[in-house]
Each structure stands twice: as C-alpha cells, then as structure tokens.
Amino acid sequence: MYRPPNPVRLVILWIGLALARVGLVSREHVHRTTDLAWPRIVTGLARMSKNAVDVAMVGVAVGRTAIAGVGFASPYWGVAFSLGGGFAAGTIALVSQRFGGEAFDELGDAIRASALLVVVVTLPVAAVFWSVPTELVGLLTSEARPVELGGAYLKILALGVPFAGLNLVGSRIYIGLDDAWTPMVLRAGGAVMNIALNAVLIFGFDLGVEGAAWGTVLSNALITGVFAVALAAGRLPLLGELPVRVSPTGPYAVLGDLRDLVRIGLPVVGRNLVWTVAKFPMLAIVGLFGSTVVAAYVISRRIWGLMNTPGWGFGLAASSLVGQELGAGDEAAAESYARDIIAFSVATYAVAAIVVAVFADPIVASFVGDPDDTAIPVARGLVYAACIAVIAGGVKAATAGPLDASGDTRWPFYSQAIGMFGVAIPLAYLGATTPLGIYGLYLSFLAETSVPAAINYWRFASGEWKAISREYRPDQPVADD
C-alpha cells in the first residue's frame, strides 16, 4: 500500500537526524523510532484536536458556561482511558516480547485476554456514569448550569466507555507488532469523524454539549468494530495485509496471560488514574479562583494536551522497540534504544513548546467567541507555563516507555502520584488560598512534570528494569530477586 509523505513524520525525522549529526543519537535508532512514533503522534494530535474542538465548539455554540461543564465532566471520561490505557500497557509488553521472541502461538491468547479484561473492568464504570451523572459532576461545583450541562454530557459519554478502552487495546496490539501505521489510520480517522459528527450535531441539530457527547460515542464504537474486523480477518480494505490474524473463537480467560496483564497493567492504571483522580481536587481548587479561571484552565489543558502528543509516540515506540530487544535477550541494545529515544523525545517537546509559545495569543483566542473575554489573558499565562513544564514531560514519557516494556511499571506510578498529590495539588491550593494567586497554578504545572521526570529517570538509570523484564520473556527462566 502506498503511504504518502506526512509533514509530522518529516518534522520528527528532521529533529532526530539533527541530533544524529552531532552524535547524540544513532541514525538507525532515529529511523526506527520515527517510523513507530510519528503515526502515534498523528493519532494523538487528531484525538487531542478533537478534545480541543469539543471545547471550542460548545464554547462558541453555548458559551463559557458550557466549557466549564465539559471541563467538570472530562475527568470522569478520563477514567475510561486510565483503565483501558493501563491494561493496554500489559498488552504491549506481552505482545512485543512475544513478537521479538517469535512466540507467535502465544499472541492470540494475550490479545483475547486483553480484550476480555478491559470489557470486564469498564462496564461497571459505564453503568455508574449512566446512573448518576449529574450527581457526579455536582461533586466538583455548586454552580447549577455547569452541573446541568456536564451531567448531560457525561450520561451520554457513559455509553462509549467500553469502546474507548477497547480502542486503546487495539492500538497497542499493532504497535507491539511494529505496526504503528494501522492504529494511526483507524484512530486518527475516528477523531476526524468525531469532529465532523460534532459539527453536524452541535450546530446542525443544535444539540450543544449532548451533540459533542454523541459524536464521541458513535466514533469510538465504529472504530472498535473496525479493529475487531481487522484482527479477525488479518487485513482491511485499502490497508491490505496486517501483521497478525487472531481467531475470535479462541480462549479468552487464559489465566497466565490475565495474571500478567493485571500484574503489569495495574500499576499503569494507577499511574493513569493519578492524573484522572487528581483532576477532581484540582478542578475544585481551580473553581475557588472563579469561573473565568476555570474556563482559562480548561482551555490551557487542551492546548497542553496537543503539546504532549509526542509522548504518545515516543513512549510507545520505546515500549515496543525496547520490548522487542528484551524479548530477543539483548539488554544492551534495549538500553541503547531507550537512551536515544529519551534524547529524541526531549528535543521534539522543546520544538513544540517554542512553536506554541510564539502563537499562544491566536491559539487561545480561537476557543472563545468574544475576543475581549477576560479568560483569554489568564489562559495565555497558563499556556506559557505549560510550554515550560511540557519539556520535562518529554523525559517523563520517554523514560516510562522502557519501564513499561520490561514490566517495571510501579515506579512511573509512584512518580506520578508524588508529583501530583505531593507537590502539584498543594501548590495549586496555596495559589487559591494565599497571596501566591495564579502563580500557584504556574508552579503546579511545573511540578506535575518535573517531579515524575526526575524519579522515572532515576529508576531507568538504575538498570533494575532489565532484571525485571526476565520474568516476562517468553520461554525464559524467572530471574532471582
């Protein structure tokens, strides 16, 4: 299949080759990392753009109150991604190591077990969101209109929770097989479809926040179906042959795989939930500043999400490439890949931060209909703080990749928890309750990434993850503690 050149790939490759020219990374590693990372970055850009467009569309159609309502509901929707993405980390670890060790017969069992596990853990969450959405949003704010709008948004989103989790598993399966193109086409295509549906439902049918929610649910359900067909058939129209074909009638409850998925994935679920759970007290604290700062905060987080998309690619590229080398028993090559990807990631984040800082004014203004809205200067300041903080995010994401690939997933969880609950949230609270003011939010942004980055890198540099990986390699004896 012909794959047209992509500007994101060209930019990423240019950054990597510039590092290679000065001897900081290997050219071979740059090419392999770029091939795996750029489709995932495009997927991230598409999905984060979708999130940003959701906020911008409801802001234009309904007003600043709708932005706040969607913002208060968003942490609950994030639970689906915390659960799905967490257990999908187990999927990529098992799949990549089996692929690298050429244990192809074990792939199907790991994939089916992953799907079963995610469905089992997400269905109860969906039931809760459907049953008491207004009450859940009301825990974060006492303002009636944001509670009403956020509850309506969350009730519909509940239907999409299992599909969101399954989409993440489907994506990680192919990335673990050295194929980042297929999930990029499917998930980025789903994000574009979501934006189109939102435009029709929000503006064409005047459904407001409910239209944004229905667009999300429908697009996620459709892409889940496409992933299922792709895995069962081993091919798709236009994409052609795919690297794996998995029978849907094989065993699902493979106890060994389920145990490994839980053991590897549970700390990643915890790590993901750290930020998701932290959103609740954080939004409550931001609410103490008033509705203007809430809207500005939601806008800045959407822009930060766009800047953070390189981590989607570099973290998963590190997981796949490091995992394959570990599966083949070459620990030196695994560490070499990891170190190069860390440097590559930081450089890419720095470029993204500079671009956003230069164009911060028009980017922020695009989220509100009134150019004189008082939320704009507040959001602009928060975006500048995010531009500094996000560079440390490049270290955090890239160092989590090799730790995830090896099965050493506890330390990224610890680092995220310490950074958020031990430092970032207290700083935000000080800002809301002392003369520190808005600077507390700026410092909170910095702590959110720099603390986990330092802890993750320390754990990576210790080398313990290489010994831990021996417990999960196919047909390998368990390493002594």
The pLDDT of residue 478: 42
Neighbours of 480 (CB within 10 A): 6
CA-based nearest residue to 346, from 416, 441, 450? 450
User: What confidence category does residue 247 fall into, taking pLDDT thresholds of 50, 70 and 90?
Assistant: confident
CA angle 404, 37, 298 (to 5 degrees): 80
**Cross-strand pairs, 481:** none
Is 481's pLDDT higher than 60?
A: no
Contact 432, 285 (CB under 8 A): yes
Q: With b meaning 16 or more CB within 10 Å and e meaning fewer, what string describes 230-263?
A: bbeeeebeebeebebebeeeeebebeebbebbbe
Tokens standing for 256? 């060994």
Name the maximum alpha-carbon separation found in the chain: 65
The pLDDT of residue 143: 80
Is 302's pLDDT higher than 70?
A: yes
pLDDT digits (tens, 9 = 90+) for 430-464: 999 999 999 999 999 999 999 999 999 999 999 88
Is 311's pLDDT higher than 60?
A: yes
pLDDT digits (tens, 9 = 90+) for 68-90: 788 888 888 888 778 887 788 78
pLDDT digits (tens, 9 = 90+) for 103-162: 667 778 888 888 999 999 999 999 999 999 999 998 887 788 889 999 999 999 999 999
Average pLDDT, the chain: 86
Tell me the torsion sign for CA atoms 336, 344, 47, 226.
Answer: negative
| Three-class SS state of 132 | coil
- Residue, of 394 and 234, whose pLDDT is higher: 394
**What are the residue ranges spanned by the domains of the chain?**
7-469
